[in-house]
């Protein structure tokens, strides 16, 4: 890993000169009035505190800017439905609802599919030389910029999806969630595009959780006569439950804050609708749409308030997820 001929001889050379002082019984520290070593330690400590401080700075700035809106609208902001820039009345409910529902749909789709991928790439369904590349390819989708995923979503996926949406409406139209005629962009489309984007996270973390389960458990279950899938459902998944829940929550946090792809396929309608075939809106989507043109202080304040709600929401979900994954020691560093 390192070239042994390069750095090590330098160290020997530089320290060799100070060696005589050691023989006189004095510590190296007392030689120099100002210790570079101590200074370096303090420097990295200070920088890491500053790095961590960014989170508080971020929360503080957004809270401070949201303050005018918080004073004016208070808690009622959360359940108010009107968002009228002209009259300067603002309410968050349609966006909060859209954020939660689209993320919920995404989780509902991505969890079973992600678990299937995790099982296929961690159990011995396939030879080992196929499994790792397969896991890598599934993770690759996380590398594609979300604006490109959104572009594909609105121009390719939504037209593909339209027959399915029409079918859902025709056959299950009696249910309120499929009760309106679909026009392409919809809450369902947003949920599906989010599912595509959070799938790699669920698959990758669940895979690590499954790999971390001791092989003894597998062997014991199989030697008692359980089939492969009986072992998976009765032993592996119960043993990995907490880690998998952690993965799902981490993915949920990502879904709640995903902006570009959702903005492009959800249709950006401010009307609250029970039907997931109707267009909707989310907090990130309205921030992306309105911030570039926001001029009134109270409008900017209301947008900041929305940003603060989103920050608090993802903060809570992420803290829970990180604690869940860490407490169980499933993180790579253990």
CB of 179 to another protein, least distance (A): 27
Alpha-carbon gap, residue 229 to 224, rounded angstroms = 13
Q: Nearer Cβ to another protein, position 54 or 214?
A: 54
Q: Nearer Cβ to another protein, position 143 or 174?
A: 143
Q: Nearer Cβ to another protein, position 273 or 287?
A: 287
Residue 242 lies near another protein (rule: CB under 8 A): no
CB of 135 to another protein, least distance (A): 9
| CB-based contact 274:180 (threshold 8 Å) | no
H-only helix segments in 88-154: 93-122, 128-140, 146-152
Q: In Å, how far are 13, 15, 19, 154, 318 from 6, measured between CA atoms? A: 12, 16, 22, 55, 44
Q: Nearer Cβ to another protein, position 187 or 265?
A: 265
Residue 251 lies near another protein (rule: CB under 8 A): no
- Helices (H) and strands (E) counted in the chain, each on its own, are 15, 2
Question: 11: buried, middle or exposed (CB in 10 Å: 19+, 13-18, 0-12)?
Answer: exposed
Alpha-carbon gap, residue 161 to 186, rounded angstroms = 10
CB of 120 to another protein, least distance (A): 5
DSSP assigned state of 234: I
- Secondary structure class of 89 (helix, strand, coil): strand
CB of 174 to another protein, least distance (A): 28
Q: Nearer Cβ to another protein, position 244 or 273?
A: 244
Which residues in the 91-150 window bind another protein by CB under 8 A?
Answer: 112-114, 116-117, 119-121, 125, 132, 134, 136-138, 140-141, 143-150
Task: Draw the binding track, 303-322, toward another protein (x: CB under 8 A; -: no contact).
Answer: xx--x--xx--xx-xxx-xx
| CB-based contact 98:183 (threshold 8 Å) | no
Task: Draw the binding track, 173-212, toward another protein (x: CB under 8 A; -: no contact).
Answer: -----------------------x--x---x---------
Strands (E), the chain: 83-84, 89-90
Q: Nearer Cβ to another protein, position 58 or 172?
A: 58
CB of 176 to another protein, least distance (A): 27
Residue 10 lies near another protein (rule: CB under 8 A): yes
Alpha-carbon gap, residue 262 to 135, rounded angstroms = 25
The correct pick among 106, 188, 190, 258 for binding another protein (CB under 8 A) is 258
The number of beta carbons lying within 10 Å of the beta carbon of residue 290 is: 16
Residue 18 lies near another protein (rule: CB under 8 A): yes
- Secondary structure class of 87 (helix, strand, coil): coil
Which residues in the 32-91 window bind another protein by CB under 8 A?
Answer: 36-37, 40-41, 43-45, 47-52, 54-55, 57-58, 61-62, 64-65
């Amino acid at each position: 890993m390192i070239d042994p001929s390069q750095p090590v001889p330098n160290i020997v050379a530089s320290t060799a000169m100070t060696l005589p002082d050691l023989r006189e019984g004095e510590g190296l520290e007392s030689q120099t009035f100002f210790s570079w070593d101590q200074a370096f330690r303090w420097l990295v400590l200070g920088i890491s505190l500053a790095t961590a401080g960014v989170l508080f700075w971020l929360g503080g700035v957004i809270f401070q800017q949201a303050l005018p809106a918080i004073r004016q609208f208070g808690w009622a902001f959360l359940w108010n439905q009107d968002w009228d820039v002209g009259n300067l009345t603002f309410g968050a409910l349609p966006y909060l609802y859209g954020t939660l529902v689209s993320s919920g749909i995404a989780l509902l789709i991505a969890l079973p599919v992600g678990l299937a991928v995790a099982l296929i790439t961690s159990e011995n369904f396939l030879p080992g030389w196929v499994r790792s590349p397969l896991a890598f390819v599934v993770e690759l989708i996380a590398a594609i910029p979300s604006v490109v995923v959104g572009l594909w979503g609105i121009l390719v996926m939504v037209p593909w999806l339209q027959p399915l949406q029409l079918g859902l409406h025709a056959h299950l139209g009696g249910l309120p969630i499929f009760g309106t005629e679909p026009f392409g962009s919809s809450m369902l489309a947003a949920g599906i595009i989010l599912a595509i984007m959070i799938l790699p996270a669920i698959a990758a973390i669940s895979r690590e959780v499954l790999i971390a389960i001791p092989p003894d458990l597998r062997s014991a279950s199989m030697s008692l006569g359980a089939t492969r899938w009986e072992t998976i459902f009765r032993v592996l998944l119960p043993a990995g439950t907490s880690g998998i829940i952690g993965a799902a929550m981490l993915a949920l946090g990502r879904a709640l804050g995903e902006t570009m792809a959702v903005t492009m396929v959800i249709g950006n309608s401010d009307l609250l609708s029970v039907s997931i075939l109707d267009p909707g809106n989310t907090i990130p989507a309205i921030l992306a749409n309105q911030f570039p043109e926001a001029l009134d202080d109270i409008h900017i304040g209301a947008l900041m308030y929305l940003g603060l709600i989103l920050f608090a929401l993802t903060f809570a979900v992420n803290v829970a997820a990180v604690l869940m994954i860490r407490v169980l020691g499933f993180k790579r560093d253990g």
